[in-house]
Structure 1
Amino acid sequence: MKYFFLCFFIGLKVCAAQTFSYPKFVKQGRTLEKLVPQNWKIIDTAYGDLNNDQTDDLAFVVEYHLPIAENRAYGDNETELIKEFQKPRVLAIYFKNPQSGNFAFALQNNNFILRAHEGGGMGDPFKNINIANQNLQLSFEGGNNWRWKLDYDFNYRNKDWSLILANNIYYHIGSGEMTEKKYNFLDRRTYLVTGNIFNRNSGNQRTEEVLYFSDLRTFDTFKKPWTWEITKDNFL
């Protein structure tokens, strides 16, 4: 009997992996609850103006109720090499129509949000989603003794979502040894701080460098965190 239930459970997982497809979000709705697909749960939401119409738009992250087999990119922005069994996450953005009061679909991204087991010893790396200064802000954190923090600011311009700011902190939880890199893609500048995370206002070294790249990255050209080799052996 135990063997039967084990086979049944495995069969359910295999079936879920075989039949899974990412949701197709509704084009519009008046409330958040009306926008969330069946079998997906909300893990974070943010309200704020994203398209400069003085109306609060909506961004949220949802997670599927079952783990499935996913191919996830690691180490570059081109290939998908690592297969993992985990719950998918999706980022969705809706613009609010100031006349009708409805939220209108603006973006669905199936790749960028890190999954619950992609943060190392610290557990779930997804920290929050926020909207400020018309930017969509996504924050992640993970690691073990050596820890990392990643913050990304995407801005809606020319009918696309461009990465305009990023921050990457890498530090040791015991010694406090730290490297922090702040990226301003509009000014094409990198600001580097090295030293100790417990002594960030004094004693740390600060340098500024020109940032070389061709075009602003978008959700279409930046698959997920850690996949943009922005300089040699330096991933963002």
Structure 2
Amino acid sequence: MNKYLTLIGILLLLSGAAACKKEKQTSTVETLNNPEEISEDNASTVEKGKSPEEFVPKGYVIFDTIYGDLNKDKLDDLLFIIKGTDKSKVIQDENRGQLDRNRRGIIVLLNKNEGYELAVKNYDCFSSENEDGGAYFAPELSVEITKDKLFISYGYGRYGYWQYMFRLQDNDLALIGYDSSSNNGPVVNVETSINFLTRKKITNVNTNENADSGEEVFEKTETKIVRSKLMKLSEIKDFDELRFFDE
């Protein structure tokens, strides 16, 4: 009888040990497969390099370079406008000849004296400079850094312009302002200004239909916008689709 009890006890011990081992392995696998736990350190890693060109990805070339202080440390930070090099995007237009329709993107680097630190990368947020503008030329992109702010603007000749203002915030560049002017030649029809920090939108509409330049009579409207979360430069997929007329 004692032999049977001893044998049963041994079997129970072995069974319990195997179950414990299996539970421990399962728990370990679940932990390794948890993306929040394994990517936490990687998410906080900042890309650094001594040469700015190190940050330009394969398949892109530098289209333009802009300098300016974004973080008020009295050092010139650096911004690249980059452009894709996909040969299939180079087309032959019937009227304009060969056109490179590769999209453009932006890389923002902070100057750290002995090297650079990546602030923002967005490789395809701008259309090609060779897009079809229809009856008029396509809007012209311009980028500048002024008073620690990044300004991304589109000029549309006699039809006006629109402009986005960004500042460094939350390890990115946050959209804090938007301005636009809809014109008919030198005459301004509508002006729009949005402050995303105060959520205030101001619209000036010219009510003088026969105005020459400088003779506009504006009717001002001030409203609150619903957007509360600031948009990040790294998350904007296409500036061509970014409009705030209905905010």
**Coarse TM-score class (shorter-chain normalised):** 0.5 to 0.7
2:76 aligns with 56
Residue aligned with 1:112, SS: strand
Q: Please say if residues 45 and 129 of structure 1, whose CA atoms lie closer than 8 Å, have aligned partners that are also in contact.
A: no
Which whole-Å CA distance do the structure 2 matches of 1:150 and 1:118 have between them? 17
Partner SS, residue 178 of structure 1: strand
Query: Alpha-carbon deviation of 1:229?
Result: 5.8
Q: Is the 8 A contact 2:103 2:125 kept in 1?
A: no
Q: Which residue identity does 1:216 align to in structure 2?
A: L
Is the counterpart of residue 188 in structure 1 residue 199 in structure 2? yes
Q: Deviations over 1:74-121 (max 9, x none)?
A: xxxxxxxxxxx82121211111103x2x22222210232232244614
Equivalent position to 1:103, from 108, 116, 124:
116
| Residues in 2 aligned to 1:38 and 1:111: alpha-carbon distance in whole angstroms | 13
Aligned to 1:179: 190
- Structure 1 Cα separation of the partners of residues 54 and 69 of structure 2: 20
In structure 1, distance between residues paired with 2:142 and 2:243: 24
Is residue 159 of structure 1 aligned with residue 180 of structure 2?
A: no
Of 113, 118, 122 in structure 1, the residue corresponding to residue 126 of structure 2 is 113
- For the 8 Å contact 1:152–1:163, the answer to whether it is kept is yes
Q: Distance in 2 between matches of 1:200 and 1:190?
A: 23
C-alpha deviation, 1:217, in angstroms: 0.9
Deviation, structure 1 residue 28: 1.6
Q: 2-side partners of 1:127 and 1:114: how far apart? A: 9
1:133 and 2:147 equivalent? yes
Q: Residues 112-164 of structure 1: CA distance to partner in whole angstroms, max 9, x if unpaired?
A: 22322446144353431111121111111348x8x342211111112122100
Q: Where does residue 233 of structure 2 map in the other structure? A: 219
Give yes or no for contact 1:115–1:124 (8 Å, CA) kept in 2: no
How many pairs are equivalent?
188
Q: Where does residue 103 of structure 2 map in the other structure?
A: 88
- Using the TM superposition, give the Cα deviation of residue 37 of structure 1 relative to its aligned residue in structure 2, in angstroms: 5.2
CA distance in 2, matches of 1:52, 1:166: 22
For 2:219, give the aligned amino acid: Q
Name 1:45's counterpart in structure 2: 65
Q: 1:228 to 1:39 in 2, by over 3 A?
A: closer
| Percent of paired sites with the same residue | 24
Distance in 1 (alpha carbons) for counterparts of 2:122 and 2:146: 20
**Gaps spanning 5+ residues in structure 1: where?**
1-25, 70-84
What's the CA shift string for 1:181-217, capped at 9, x where partnerless? Answer: 1111112111112227963585222232222213111
**Distance in 2, Cα, partners of 1:116 & 1:41:** 14
TM-score w.r.t. the length of structure 2 is 0.63
User: For the residues of structure 2 that align with 1:57 and 1:201, how far apart are their CA atoms?
Assistant: 42
Aligned CA RMSD, in angstroms, stands at: 3.2
SS in 2 for 1:52: coil
The residue identity in structure 1 corresponding to 2:180 is N
Contact 1:189 1:208 (C-alpha < 8 Å) held by counterparts: yes
When you count strand as a share of all residues, which structure comes out higher?
A: 1
Aligned residue identity for 1:159: N
Once residues 127 and 216 of structure 2 are traced to their aligned partners in structure 1, the CA distance between those partners, rounded to angstroms, is 33
Contact 1:151 1:168 in 2 (8 A): yes
The structure with more radius of gyration? 2
Superposition TM-score, scaled by structure 1 size: 0.65
